[in-house]
Amino acid sequence: MVYFSFVTLPYFLLYFFSAVLQLPWDIANRKATKNLNKIMAEYEQKETPTNSENILFTDYLQQWLKKKKNKVELTTWEGYYNTVVNHFIPYFKPLNLTIKEIKPKHIVNYYDYKFSSGRQDRKKGGLAFSSLKKHSVILKNILNQAFLEEIIPRNPALKIPLPKKDNGEEKSTFLNTTQANELIKLFKGHRLQPLIYLTLYYGLRRGEVIGLKWSAIDFKNDKVRINHTVVKHTTVIAKDKTKTEASRREYIFLSEIKAVLLNLQKERKTNRKIL
């Protein structure tokens, strides 16, 4: 079998019509051009991907994930991945909807389902309002991207209210003075005592207290600097920055905190000598 590239194909057609069929040169040239255009059109039709507006919503979700992977921090992308793969795709795949067929009612139904019975950890009940709010943000971003790409005429996830219970589920819970003192007593002498003290006294986020380094502890000036965090979705990432610029801050040492950290540093030096 002889294979012809698109470079040699025009010459072959011209040779076929002029030499083999013995047609006049001008007629052979016209026929060769006409047949070449027909072949090229058929090839392009096969190679051209399906119109993006007919792409399944679940396929677009996966495409969006791929595009986002190198544009956001790894932990942010892993959060997107978890939501898209473990929540969006399992729900929307059985519906077999193209992205253009996604309507506000489908988004409403998704929120209602997840809020009532959409957990993935096999526990009863649905997602918390805070989790559902994150889903809403991601869905809006995905569909807004499709709108910007002119795949859909409007974003169907906009202005869709989230279901919310009236039982105060999302109210923050704080320890009162008595409870905080009890917690301090409970962890006195425990290896986690420094973490508990720092978290309680300064109100640090989880990633901030875990990310504390000795370089952030200034015994000379009695200060602790919050400038390093540790975050995790699938991968644990240590970052020399905080959640926001305003989160970079300093605290004056309280006498209790300084005593605990000095004792911890002493233990650290002793352990180094032993090892």
Q: CB of 6 within 8 A of CB of 37?
A: no
Q: Which domain holds residue 41?
A: 9-47
Tokens of 237: 């990432």
**Position 153 in a domain:** no
**Position 231 in a domain:** yes
Residue 181 and residue 260 in one domain: yes
Q: How far apart are CA 60 and CA 143, in angstroms?
A: 10
| Helix, coil or strand: residue 61 | helix
Last residue of a domain, one of 148, 165, 185: 148
**Of residues 265 and 28, more confidently modeled:** 265
**Position 159 in a domain:** no
- The predicted pLDDT at position 132 comes to 93
Residue 64 and residue 43 in one domain: no
**What does DSSP assign to residue 54?**
G
- The predicted pLDDT at position 106 comes to 97
Q: Between 193-202 and 177-186, two packed helices, what is the crossing angle to 10 degrees?
A: 160
| Confidence grade of residue 258 (pLDDT, cut at 50, 70, 90) | confident
What CATH number is given to the structural domain containing 200?
Answer: 1.10.443.10
Residue 129 and residue 113 in one domain: yes
Strand partners, 229: 239
Residue 35 and residue 118 in one domain: no
- The predicted pLDDT at position 81 comes to 93
Residue 21 and residue 63 in one domain: no
Residue 100 and residue 184 in one domain: no
Matching residue, tokens 């699938």: 234
- The predicted pLDDT at position 155 comes to 97
Q: What is the tens place of the pLDDT at every residue in 3-54?
A: 444 444 455 544 554 555 555 655 655 665 666 566 655 645 444 444 666 8
The number of domains in the chain is 3
Residue 182 and residue 250 in one domain: yes
Residue 62 and residue 30 in one domain: no
pLDDT-above-90 percentage for the chain: 29
| CB neighbour list of residue 13: distance below 8 Å, 6 or more residues apart | 31, 32, 35, 36
Q: How far apart are CA 55 and CA 99, in angstroms?
A: 6
